[in-house]
Amino acid sequence: MTKPQISFEDFDKVDIRVGRVVKVEDFPEARKPSYKLWIDLGKEIGTKTSSAQFVKNQTKEDLLNRQVACVVNFAPRQIGPFISEVLTLGPDDGTDDASNWVVLTTLKDVPLGREVK
């Protein structure tokens, strides 16, 4: 399904930054299998939390210390007992399974908090 075209100005409103996963926990209270992530986004933004459905394709060990891309300017969302402050990005793997997302990461480490364009 193709989504409607947006302007560059619309895209520019989305603040996507690089962070490093510094803590990962199981999230058994979530409706779909998920992890709780703590992501260091550098001095300017700090460490933020994210609920992420990466359980099928990544282990906690795969995610720990990995650089990831996050949308940092969405409003926080209450997901069960957890507040998700940023959206960790990644495509689904093409299956219809729950938690089938694959984390979007960098090929090379970059400074934390760098903007993705």
Region 37-49: mean pLDDT is 98
pLDDT at 17 over 80: yes
Residue 64 belongs to what domain range?
8-88
Look at residue 106 and tell me if it is in a domain. no
pLDDT at 77 over 80: yes
3-state SS, the chain, equals CCCCCCCHHHHHCCCEEEEEEEEEEECCCCCCCCEEEEEECCCCCCEEEEEECCCCCCCHHHHCCCEEEEECCCCCEEECCEEECCEECCCECCCCCCCCECCCECCCCCCCCCECC
The CATH number of the domain holding residue 75 is 2.40.50.140
Region 101-112: mean pLDDT is 96
pLDDT of 12 reads 94
Region 30-39: mean pLDDT is 94
Look at residue 64 and tell me if it is in a domain. yes
pLDDT of 48 reads 98
Domains in the chain: how many in total?
A: 1
